[in-house]
Structures are given as C-alpha cells and as structure tokens.
C-alpha cells in the first residue's frame, strides 16, 4: 500500500438512517494520488466529526477491500467504541457552543440496540481466534464494516474506485469531494449514492524521483516508506520533538500547549522546522496522539509520526490536516516501531544543539541544513543529516 502525497482526491461517506430520536451516519474519507492507483479510506460509524477528529476509525483500501491492515487482535484493541449522533429531541440549541451543540455522543452498543450496526460489525471468537462477520455471535464486537467491504451488501469499494476515475478524468484536476449513500432501499430495492460537494485542491504537481541507489543510509537520520509529500527541501535546520524517554500519554494536552508556544516563536523568526512525535498529530483522542490544532503546528514543514515500544497506534496519514498538508506540500511521514525498513535516528537528534526545552518537548538545531527528499509516487522519503 502506498501513502501518497501529490494533490489528491478526498471523499466523504455518509450512510444515513433515521432511528428514534437520533440520526446516525457512517462517515469516512478517502484520498488518492493523482495518477497512482492506491486509495486509503477511513470510515467511522456516526457523524463525520468522529473521523475528522482522528478517533478510532477503520482504514481500508478500496482497490483491495478484503485486505486488512492490522491483525484481528489489534482491531479489537483499536475498534470504535462510541459515535456522534444528531439529537432530534433537543428543541433548543445553544449555537455558541460550536459544532457540538446539536450532537450527542453515544456508546456504540446503543447503535447495536437500534439495529443500525448490522452491516458494520464483526464478533471476535475467542475459542477459534478469528472474526465472525455480524453481531449475532457471542463475544466482543469490532466495527470493521465487513458485510459492506467483504461481502458487498453495499458495493462501497467499487463505487469509490469508479467515482475516483470518473471525476479525475472529467475535472482534469485534483479535487475534494463529499458524497452520501442512503442504505434505505428505494422501490426498486436499490440504495442511493449522492455526490454532495466537489472542490478543487491546489498543490505542486511536479514529480520528484528518489534514486534509492544514491541514498547512503549512514548519512540519513530518517527513512520512511509510509510517506506523503513530493519534492526536495534543503533549508531546514530546526527540529522540534517530543522526548521519547519522558513521553507520558496522559499529558498530551500539555504537550499541545507547549508546542503552540514553540511554533509561535519559530514562526515569528521565519524558521520552518521538522516536527517529530508519537501517535497521531491532531487526534481529538488524547490517548492516541497529541491533540493539536493546525495553528499549533502551522510552521512545520515536515511532520513525523513515530511509534514507541509502549505506544503503537495506526498512523493518521495526515487526515486531520489533509487540505493543509496537500495544498502546502507539507511532508508527512510515519515510522512504525521496529520496522525492517523505516527508521529514525534518535541518537543523532539528541546530539544536536539544544535551543530550548519545555517539560515535554525539545527544540534542537543541526549544524548544517538538513536535506529532505520526498518521492510521492513511491511513498518513500528520506532526511539527510545536517
């Protein structure tokens, strides 16, 4: 699978049904590189806020919808446990509260009681160590949309692939698209697919080809085969990173506030930087990553998500800040823990000149500018030591 950068197509999915006093959706978004045929989709049950906020959504490739990225055991640990619904009983709404004013957060079991999860869940069979599709079995439930993706109770994957090809050909440019699917059958027994919105995405379309034969790993401090971005950057000297030795997942809100101050200082001096930290940048779930807003990290030119020995979560793939990342050609890299190929040289980073330190973050500066090379078609990026 490739995690690709060049200006991409984003798709939002809404599968809607009305049950009692709450309005449920299945929501997700998919993006793909211009001219490359890999798509990554992120789906979550409930309103789209759940996916946008970077919570425990399900990822799949529409080209190979039956292919699972993680083991069933990991799915059990990372499955969606709650969702957002539209509260239809509330007759007075305080809009000053923002986008949460009309929403209700509910336990995923409530949707199962309503019968709205039938096409979305599987059951973990402890005795046979396997997943059983559907919710009629005894055991923990996993939201993995198996009936839709594996057995095509609704051909979502094929529709995504078809729409990607049609829109790309017709528009001749990268776009952002939102669409909805109503699973309630019409008189002909068919569900309905609606395209809601199409917006162009701006970005650098020029290809950059990375010759790995010329990349001496002894000169690198980072190598990633799970990278978004395209081109060469050779003026960066600053690195801001979360100290992996003192990382405490219960303190991620404090890390976000500290980073906001560091970002503001570097921005005032016109200094772009490489940002490195564990988990998902921008996640609203503080146990999955650091819950920053874009303004907290707006001067970062390269953003890196790393896994630690005791902190392994699915990468966000830049989904929380996707429009910013694509339109501004921000490099977005993932470093899995103990990967046989990808790596980051923490020892070299810690040897660089210390400029400042907060309770959880470190700002360091290399002796010479670092060189970043990003090949968007291969999804491979490298950073040379400065």
Per-residue model confidence as pLDDT tens digits over 218-264? 899 999 998 888 889 999 999 999 999 999 999 999 999 999 999 99
pLDDT band with cut points at 50, 70 and 90 for residue 214: low
pLDDT band with cut points at 50, 70 and 90 for residue 173: low
pLDDT band with cut points at 50, 70 and 90 for residue 365: very high
Please state, for a pLDDT cut of 90, what percent of the chain lies above it: 31
Is-contact 333 220, C-beta < 8 A? no
Measured CA to CA, the distance from residue 124 to residue 76 in angstroms comes to 8
Report the DSSP pairing between strands 300-306 and 331-335. Answer: parallel
Is-contact 247 258, C-beta < 8 A? no
For the chain, the domains span: 8-200, 212-384
> Average pLDDT, stretch 354-375?
95
pTM of the full predicted structure?
A: 0.60
- Write out the two tokens for 220: 């690198």
- Write out the two tokens for 54: 């970077």
Ranked by mean pLDDT, the top range of 72-76, 93-97, 197-201, 226-230 is: 226-230
Q: Which helix (H) or strand (E) holds 313?
A: none
> Average pLDDT, stretch 333-343?
91
Selection from 32, 34, 35 nearest residue 63 by Cα: 32
pLDDT band with cut points at 50, 70 and 90 for residue 19: very low
pLDDT band with cut points at 50, 70 and 90 for residue 148: confident
The pLDDT of residue 301 is 95
Structure-model confidence comparison of residues 349 and 201, the more confident one: 349
Per-residue exposure over 350-380, b if at least 16 CB sit within 10 Å of its own CB, e if not: eebeebeebebbbbbbbeeebbbbbbbbbbb
Structure-model confidence comparison of residues 38 and 123, the more confident one: 123
Statement: residue 92 has pLDDT above 70: yes
> Average pLDDT, stretch 354-359?
96
Is-contact 40 61, C-beta < 8 A? yes
């Amino acid at each position: 699978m490739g995690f690709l950068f060049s200006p991409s197509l984003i798709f939002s999915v809404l599968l809607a049904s009305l049950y009692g006093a709450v309005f449920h959706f299945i929501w997700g978004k998919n993006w793909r590189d211009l001219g490359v045929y890999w798509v990554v989709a992120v789906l979550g049950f409930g309103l789209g806020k759940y996916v946008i906020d970077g919570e425990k959504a399900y990822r799949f490739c529409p080209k190979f919808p039956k292919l699972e990225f993680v083991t069933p055991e990991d799915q059990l640990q990372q499955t969606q446990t709650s969702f957002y619904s539209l509260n239809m009983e509330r007759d007075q709404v305080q809009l000053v509260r923002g986008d949460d004013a009309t929403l209700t957060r509910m336990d995923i079991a409530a949707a199962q009681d309503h019968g709205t999860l039938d096409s979305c869940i599987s059951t973990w069979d402890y005795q046979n160590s396997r997943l059983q599709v559907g919710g009629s079995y005894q055991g923990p439930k996993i939201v993995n949309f198996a009936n839709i993706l594996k057995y095509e109770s609704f051909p979502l994957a094929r529709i995504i692939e078809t729409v990607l090809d049609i829109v790309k050909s017709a528009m001749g440019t990268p776009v952002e698209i939102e669409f909805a699917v109503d699973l309630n059958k019409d008189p002909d027994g068919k569900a309905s697919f609606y395209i809601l919105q199409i917006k162009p995405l701006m970005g650098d379309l020029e290809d950059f080809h990375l010759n790995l034969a010329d990349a001496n790993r002894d000169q690198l401090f980072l190598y990633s085969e799970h990278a978004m971005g395209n081109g060469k950057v050779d003026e960066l000297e600053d690195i801001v990173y979360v100290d992996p030795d003192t990382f405490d997942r219960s303190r991620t809100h404090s890390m976000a506030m500290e980073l906001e101050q560091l970002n503001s200082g570097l921005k005032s001096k016109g200094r772009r930087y490489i940002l490195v930290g564990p988990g998902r940048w921008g996640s609203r779930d503080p146990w999955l990553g650091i819950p920053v807003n874009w303004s907290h990290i707006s001067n970062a030119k390269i953003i890196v998500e790393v896994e630690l020995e005791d902190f392994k979560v699915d990468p966000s793939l830049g989904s929380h800040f996707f429009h910013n990342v694509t339109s501004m050609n921000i490099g977005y890299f993932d470093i899995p823990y103990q990967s046989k190929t990808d790596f980051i040289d923490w020892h070299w980073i810690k040897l660089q000149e210390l400029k400042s330190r907060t309770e959880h973050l470190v700002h360091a500066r290399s002796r010479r500018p670092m060189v970043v090379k990003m090949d968007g078609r291969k999804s491979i990026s490298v950073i040379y030591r400065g």
